[in-house]
Amino acid sequence: MSGIDDLPPLREVIATHGLAARKSLGQNFLLDLNLTAKIARQAGDLSQTDVLEIGPGPGGLTRGLLASGARKVLAIEKDSRCIPALAEIAAAYPDRLEIIEGDALEIDPLRHLTPPIRVAANLPYNVGTELLVRWLTPERWPPYWQSLTLMFQREVADRIVAQPGSKAYGRLAVLAQWRSEARIVMSLPPGAFTPPPKVSSAVVHLTALPKPRFDADAGILSRVVAAAFNQRRKMLRAALKGLAPDIEDRLIAAGLKPTDRAEQIPLEGFCALARQFDT
Ligand code: SAM
């Protein structure tokens, strides 16, 4: 017999393995297994799927993912103290959990996983945005992942799903919505975590679209959007003048007004502008 119920409660795991949370690693743990099971369910049907989990910590979400039937989970964790705790989970789910001790920014998950692949994680806040941007900006599309189910600080989640004209609209909204469908599927108060962070959190579910909503080169679009939102509230022609001396002509060719501000430009406009830089 094996399964989630054979393993000790997470508070006990933390005490046994001395896993006092470290702020430098962005450690805010989820210890309620009902909650981690609920987050795992947001990732969709995992029965025929490999799952990449970044930052499993003591393994609450890992247990949820395995219990909900994931074919295999690859868990990448930087904190060596967590590895023995995760090994206990691996023993309860033979051949279904692979643990890698290391930095998720430096490991190629494709060497360990077989498609179809979904990603699920309660991300460390210090690398969460960087990982998301990497998942969203590969040159080739569709990407290796079918969906991303990710916990972020509420403010970051709001930026991912933001619409033009709103304060939260910026680089993350454009990159996320260009080639995926992004929704906030759960909101969590600080008290859901141990220790509680200062701010609320939310789970965002992103599904990769079969093809981008509008044509554009990923690298060019990334650069255009980064420059456009780097100087918020500036007119586009001023914010983007470093990209090309004739930026005003390119903006007009893309159907944009050089006096517009980035906050007002819909996704389609940024893609049209990126196409003006195609060689
Ligand atoms: N998934 C666990 C949970 O929900 O309780 C822990 C989430 S905690 C917010 C983030 C985890 O990411 C920590 O366990 C931390 O050690 C780990 N971590 C931090 N930076 C990392 C990195 N660069 N690569 C892999 N894991 C990292």
**pTM for this predicted structure:** 0.96
Q: Which residues pair with 194 in a beta bridge?
A: 29
- At 22, the amino acid letter reads R
188: enclosing H helix or E strand: strand 180-188
Of ligand 1's listed atoms, the one at least distance from the Cα of 76 is 25
Our mutation pick for probing the ligand 1 site, out of 127, 131, 200, 201, counting the most ligand atoms within 8 A of Cβ, is 127
Closest CA to 61 of 105, 119, 12: 119
Q: Which residues line ligand 1 (CB under 6 A)?
A: 25-30, 54-57, 60-61, 76-79, 82, 103-105, 122, 124, 127
- Ligand 1 centroid–CA 231 distance in Å is 32
**Running DSSP on this structure, what letter comes out for residue 144?**
S
CA distance 207 to 155: 20
Of ligand 1's listed atoms, the one at least distance from the Cα of 57 is 14
CA distance 62 to 80: 16
54's CB contacts (< 8 A; 6+ apart) are: 76, 104, 119, 121, 123, 124, 127, 131
Is-contact 262 235, C-beta < 8 A? no
CA distance 40 to 82: 20
- Ligand 1 centroid–CA 101 distance in Å is 11
- Ligand 1 centroid–CA 127 distance in Å is 9
pLDDT in tens, the chain (279 residues): 344 558 999 999 999 999 999 999 999 999 999 999 999 999 999 999 999 999 999 999 999 999 999 999 999 999 999 999 999 999 999 999 999 999 999 999 999 999 999 999 999 988 999 999 999 999 999 999 999 999 999 999 999 999 999 999 999 999 999 999 999 999 999 999 999 999 999 999 999 999 999 999 999 999 999 999 998 788 999 999 999 999 999 999 999 999 999 999 999 999 999 999 986
CA distance 122 to 83: 17
